[in-house]
Chain A
Amino acid sequence: SQQGEEDPQALSIQEGENATMNCSYKTSINNLQWYRQNSGRGLVHLILIRSNEREKHSGRLRVTLDTSKKSSSLLITASRAADTASYFCATPSYGGATNKLIFGTGTLLAVQP
């Protein structure tokens, strides 16, 4: 399976704390994307980091990418209860004409108020 893996599978923190999620993938990539999913429904794109980038910021989100280790991390700073969701990393399929995304297994984040 090409599916990536994320850890931890579940994370529970208090509001105001930082949350870090890690993602590992298996193939060479053009970019890596992070998505959030609330209540098992639609996904929302959070951030995209290209293979030639090592770190990227967007608001309270910080993403790092280490292509030598085929891994990425998502840091959410000063977490809020509204950040409670599942977080998935995704990498586009490499080569060919299909731009399908290969998703990781996800991290379920619970932020306690």
Chain B
Amino acid sequence: GAGVSQSPSNKVTEKGKDVELRCDPISGHTALYWYRQSLGQGLEFLIYFQGNSAPDKSGLPSDRFSAERTGGSVSTLTIQRTQQEDSAVYLCASSHPSGSVPYNEQFFGPGTRLTVL
């Protein structure tokens, strides 16, 4: 498929456990984003990767959250010692900034629904 894929689609975990969420962006897209959407809330930016540049981690809510992007492609978002307030849908998006149009549309994956019991 040509779209952004995420896995798992659903994850249920116990409070205190670590979880890893995976994102496969569209091939060739240099920019990758993670967002979080809590129940009934808007989308909240978490982290941004662009090529080989240092990521923008300004949206990460705490030091329990981290993300990496290997080889400029696949990204994993890790949440350590999960808390109930981490329950949300985690969305990944990719885009291909180019030329004079840096703020191109973003293509979103289907999301991972995380439930922390």
Contact = CB atoms under 8 A, between A and B. Distances in A.
Bind each other = yes
B87 to A, nearest CB: 13
Given A40-B89, A98-B56, A99-B48, A92 B42 contact: no
Interface of B: 4, 31, 33, 35, 37, 42-43, 45, 48, 50, 53, 56, 58-59, 89, 91, 93, 95, 97, 102-111, 113
A103 B103 contact: no
Interface in A38-81: 40-45, 48
7 contacts: A41-B89, A42-B109, A43-B91, A43-B108, A97-B50, A98-B50, A99-B106
B22 to A, nearest CB: 15
Contacts of B111: 40-42
B110 A41 contact: yes
A99 B102 contact: yes
Q: Which of A42, A44, A103, A105 has the most CB of B within 10 A?
A: A42
Interface of A: 3, 30-31, 33, 35, 40-45, 48, 88, 90, 92, 96-106
A24 B111 CA distance: 26
A3 B45 CA distance: 11
Contact of A44 (B31, B42, B103, B108): B108
